[in-house]
A and B are shown apart, each in its own frame.
Chain A
Amino acid sequence: MNVVPPALSRLIADLNRLPGIGMKTATRLALHILRRPASEAQSLARDLGELHRSIRLCSGCFAFAETDPCGICKDSERDGGLVCVVEESADLMAIEKTGAFKGKYHILHGVLSPMDGIGPEEIKADALLERIRNQQVREVLIATSSTVPGEATAAYLIKRLQEEAAVKVTRLACGIPMGMDIKYADELTLSRAIESRKDTCS
Chain B
Amino acid sequence: MSLQQGLAIVLQVKDHGDSDKIVTLYTLEYGKIVLIAKGAKRSKKRFVNKLELFSLLAIHFAPSRHSSLMRLDQADLLNPFPRLRENYERYIAASLLCELVLHWTREHDCDEELFRLLVWALEGLALAGGAVNRTIIFFHVKMLDILGYRPDLTGCLDCGVLGAPGVVYRFSTMRNGLVCSRCESQATGNTSQPLSIQTIQLLRRAQDMEQGKLERLHFSPAATREAVALLKRYDNHLLQREVQSWSFLG
Report if A and B associate in a common complex: yes
Q: A: which residues have CB within 8 A of B?
A: 19-20, 22, 112-117, 119, 146-149, 151-152, 155-156, 159, 177, 186-189
Give the nearest-CB partner of B244 in chain A.
Answer: A117
The reply on B80 being an interface residue by CB < 8 A is yes
Known contacts A114-B244, A115-B98, then 20 further A-B pairs from the complex at CB < 8 Å, ordered by chain A residue: A20-B17, A22-B17, A112-B88, A114-B91, A114-B95, A115-B244, A116-B244, A117-B244, A117-B247, A119-B247, A148-B85, A149-B53, A151-B85, A152-B84, A152-B86, A152-B87, A155-B85, A155-B87, A155-B91, A187-B77
Produce 1/0 per residue, B44-88, CB < 8 A to A: 100011001110000000000000000000000100101011111
Complex interface: chain A residues within 8 A of B54 (CB): 148
Is the beta-carbon distance between A188 and B77 smaller than 8 angstroms?
A: yes
Q: Do the beta carbons of B84 and A148 come within 8 Å of each other?
A: yes
CB of B99 within 8 A of CB of A115, answer: yes
Q: Is there a chain A Cβ closer than 8 Å to B92's Cβ?
A: yes
Chain B interface residue bracket vs A:
20 to 34
Is A148 within 8 A of B52, CB to CB? yes
Summed over the interface, the residue pairs from A and B with CB atoms below 8 Å come to a total of 65
Give chain A's interface secondary structure class. Answer: helix
B210 on the A face (CB < 8 A): no
Q: Is the CB of B18 within 8 A of A186?
A: no
Q: Which residues of B contact A147 (CB under 8 A)?
A: 52
29 A-B pairs within 8 Å (CB atoms) are namely A19-B17, A20-B16, A113-B95, A114-B92, A114-B95, A114-B99, A114-B244, A114-B248, A115-B95, A115-B98, A115-B245, A116-B244, A119-B247, A148-B53, A148-B54, A148-B91, A151-B85, A151-B86, A152-B87, A152-B88, A155-B85, A155-B88, A156-B88, A159-B88, A177-B44, A186-B49, A188-B49, A188-B77, A188-B82
